[in-house]
Amino acid sequence: MKDTGRITKGLDPKIVGILYGDNLDELIDGEMVYSTQVDRAHLVMLTKEKIVDKNKVKLLLNEINNLRENEFGPLRGKTPHRGIYLLYEDYLIEKLGEDIGGVLQTARSRNDLNATILKLRLRGHYNSIMMNLLELQKILIEKSNQFKDVIMPAYTHFQAAVPITYGHYLAGIASAIDRDIENIIASSKGLQYCPLGAGAVGGTSFPIDSKLTAKLLGFFYEVENSVDAVASRDLVLRLLSATSIAGITISRLATDYLLWTTSEFNFLSFPDKLVGSSSMMPNKRNIFILENIQGKSGFALGQFISSSNAMQCKPYTNSISVGTEGVKSIWKPLEESIAAIILMTNMVENATPNKENMLRKSLDGYTFATETANELVRQHGMSFRSAHYLVGKIVKESIENKEPFKDAAKRILNESNKNLSFDNFEMERIVMNSRFGGGPGRSSLKILNKKLIRYKRHFEKDLKYWAKSDKVLEREIKKICGS
């Protein structure tokens, strides 16, 4: 469409080249399946409400179905003088005549159409993020239970701190992923509302049935406010935000794993299928996938900032800056985030803890020192600060004199007219006694597992509803077009 009636010439070819020239096939592949799905639902509704003649709708639906079956081949290689939608509409008019091809946009605008396409396309990425996060959570819970007795030092400031278990560490990650899943679900609320029907910005005077089109497209609710329907893209920001927070969690896990696989720590090992070698150094065994995870998990955060900048200070109505520039680059970061989740799941599932070395580092790092101070408080009624000082002195002299901790403790405590029984000071007992305050002696896995089951049911319910809506739409189309 070059002559719109109001505008008699097409866009400058240079402008067309910049805006559409290099990515037409990408736009077709990314959007047209969803665009034509919206068209089909819209046409079914227009027929049911007797807004457009059924025979015209039948011809349009058949032509649209042909395009879908041929992967939109007739549109490829053409010049989209005013965008991909008008290129597509021009094709329908060329094939069917304006009297038929020109009715598609009845009671509709590109504004509400584009907002609806975005949500349909986002639905698939949301599904993939959820599916893979749920799988990661399942593996974390399984491995946490499997390694609940593998003692290791917890670290603060990269220094051995107190004894925990590898299973307890994984349960901590699972607790964070649990919140990430909740955030992803909360961010997806906007996917439930269908913008179709809002028109350009002020609705329409045609007696459309927005509830029907919403149902046919798998939405739970119809448009509530026409201005908000075409102006808002905060769904994108919410999903990017929640995804980037999950990415931060995953990146921190990847960093710990990288550290723990070094020869200096030697806490974890991975099978050959998950490591790489050096092209120059024959001694190397690189856990490079963890570095890929670190990189991939940060893309969503960068895109959140980019999309936010595109939307910042824009008028609250349909806006190219918001609805096009603000969302056109979100797909790759979301895909990278999904890849990071999948890769991290593989790493957690295949990580083998070095139990002996973890225990040895716990002992060498004096991680039992805090519990020693606690025992002095319990057995002698000392203030914790006094006990803290005394144990610190014991550790210092043990290191400087290369003296076993227990020997140094007995000597220094005797000097203070105190004694301490070390009969119950096995690391396992120390860990299991630390059951208060969410410590390793208390399992949070049952709660996490129950929540995981609930998340899965919620997700499966959505999947079933979307699949059912697709079947209903196909059935309605067959009623119009015949089998």
CB 430 within 8 A of CB 424: no
| Cα Rg, the chain, nearest whole Å | 31
Residue-level pLDDT at 483: 57
Residue-level pLDDT at 79: 77
Topology annotation, domain 126-145+160-356+444-471: Fumarase C; Chain A, domain 2 (1.20.200)
Nearest-5° Cα angle at 430, 426 to 433: 135
- Residue 302 has which token pair? 């960068």
Residue-level pLDDT at 1: 55
Residue-level pLDDT at 157: 96
- Residue 244 has which token pair? 């980037």
Q: What is the DSSP letter of 281?
A: -
Residue-level pLDDT at 84: 87
* CA–CA distance, 49 with 43 (Å, rounded to integer): 10
Domain boundaries, the chain: 13-106, 126-145+160-356+444-471, 369-424
Q: What is the DSSP letter of 11?
A: P
Name the 3-class secondary structure at 383: coil
Nearest-5° Cα angle at 472, 134 to 461: 20
CB 414 within 8 A of CB 399: no
Topology annotation, domain 13-106: Fumarase C; Chain B, domain 1 (1.10.275)
* CA–CA distance, 171 with 168 (Å, rounded to integer): 5
pTM of the model: 0.93
Q: Using 70 as the pLDDT threshold, list the residues of the chain that sit under it.
A: 1-3, 8, 21-22, 424, 441-442, 483
* CA–CA distance, 404 with 397 (Å, rounded to integer): 10
Q: Treating both helix axes as pointing N-terminal to C-terminal, what angle do 384-400 and 405-415 enclose, rounded to 10 degrees? A: 130
pLDDT digits (tens, 9 = 90+) for 70-92: 999 999 988 777 788 889 999 99
Residue-level pLDDT at 233: 97
> Beta partners for 276?
286
* CA–CA distance, 123 with 220 (Å, rounded to integer): 13
Name the 3-class secondary structure at 363: helix
Residue-level pLDDT at 27: 85
